[in-house]
Amino acid sequence: MGARAVAIVAVLSCATALCCNAAASIATPAPQLVRTIPLCPGLTIVTAISQSTGDYESIKSVQSVTDRAVVLRYASESMAQDPLSNAPPHLEKTNISRSVLLSDLQSSNLYEQQFYQQMPTEVPGTTAIGTSANVLTQLRTKGEADIGIFLAMSGDVSINRDAHPNVFDFQMISHIKRVETDDVMLPLIVNDAKAVLPTIHAEGDFFGDKTEFYFLDDPSNPIALKYRYGIGSAPSGDLSSVIAALDNGSKPRSEKDSLEVIKIAFRCSAPVKQTSLSTAPATIEQQLAVNRKAELYDIYFSFNNADIRPESEASLREIADILSKHPDWKLNVSGHTDNIGGHAFNLALSQRRAASVKSALITRFKIDADRLSTSGFGDTQPQDTNATLEGRARNRRVELTRL
């Protein structure tokens, strides 16, 4: 993730000859076709919103799946600023648990896309990371369906419909229609590999606000891979981003609410049906054994710094287990960023992130420090374009090289 200056935000493209040469020689391997994503403990879904200060990421992870419900954990970090205060923007962290009933995943037409700190943990009658099998089936067979979304809330809210305010006071239900007769393929990263997923694209009008959805065309887990509400409208909040965009000569974000999934990873802790990857993705161990290099996209860092987020634990543990299994292996850990912000800052940030990974492996997993070295390349070795969310997501990565 590139530098995010508070007062002046510069979006640089190939500020140095080194960056330009690297961008000119980007190798983009053919993406894998992934038709299904298992709804299992260990599934992690990363979404991003593009703003002038950089890509803000939220992480939704499945904690457990029972015969009754799916328990989710939502974590996000973004810069927030009170428009009525002169105080500088500050990093705002949100951690929420949500429980979604399996019966609602089958039949509900209410998609509660908001993750709000004071919302009740369980909101019966709603889904959370996508729509229900019933709505997807209607879009598949009839080309249309009714669906509800929710406005942003504030203060304490109840799930009791007889008490006000309650969650359902903020719902909006509208009719949506499928746009294309065939699936629309969306690019993103699945288990560290470039992939495309088939989606059903539908549009509707929510009280004058044009809205669109891209749902994974999989009735067992119809994730909302992309969603935009109020297309063409002025954003409902985030005044600092609007001002920054105008000062930078560009248009502010042109919707009231949006999300786009950029990465999905799953290390299922329980047996699941085989996913339809065109080829099985190579494990980190296999990549290191065969190619001596592995690219990792599920080591997550805090916004604009090198702090490792808790959702990175599974990847760190896997690396530690590999090193324990191969005591003769030594690894170099390198950090890479997108090109948002200054080249010098990106370079330093990538170096600090690589050092954080090394430190975590040493202190938490007792790996010998002599077996690990670090380097950082900033934005000089892009894997994809920096012009799109998914391209920048591929450029923000950690690489392991077996020495």
* CATH code given to domain 284-402: 3.30.1330.60
What is the pLDDT, as a whole number, of residue 269? 63
Report the alpha-carbon distance of residue 389 to residue 177 in Å, rounded. 26
> How many percent of the chain have pLDDT more than 90?
67
What is residue 270's predicted lDDT score, i.e. its pLDDT?
57
pLDDT (tens digit per residue) in 236-283: 444 444 444 444 444 445 678 888 999 999 877 655 544 454 445 678
| pLDDT given for residue 7 in this prediction | 31
Length of the chain equals 403
Closest Cα to residue 222, out of 75, 36, 41, 98? 36
- How high is the pLDDT of residue 254? 63
Q: How many CB atoms lie within 10 A of CB 295?
A: 18
> Would the pTM of this model clear 0.75, i.e. be above it?
yes
Q: What is the pLDDT at residue 52? A: 61
Domain boundaries, the chain: 35-266, 284-402
Rounded alpha-carbon distances, angstroms, from residue 285 to 194, 292, 295: 18, 9, 11
d(CA 106, CA 221): 10
Q: Which amino acid is at 29?
A: P
In Å, how far are 91, 168, 237, 260 from 205, measured between CA atoms? 34, 19, 21, 20
Question: Which residues does the chain have with pLDDT short of 70?
Answer: 1-29, 51-54, 234-254, 269-281
**Can you tell me the distance from the alpha carbon of 172 to that of 23, in angstroms, rounded to the nearest whole number?**
44
d(CA 266, CA 105): 19
- What is the predicted pLDDT for the residue at 366? 96
Rounded Cα distance between 350 and 332, Å, is 13
pLDDT of residue 155: 85
User: Is the Cβ–Cβ distance between 346 and 332 less than 8 Å?
Assistant: no
* CA–CA dist 143, 145 (Å, integer): 7
- Kindly report the backbone phi and psi dihedral angles of residue 152, in degrees, each rounded to the nearest multiple of 5, phi listed first: -65, 145
At 315-326, the pLDDT tens digits run: 999 999 999 999
Residue that the structure tokens 């393929």 belong to: 185
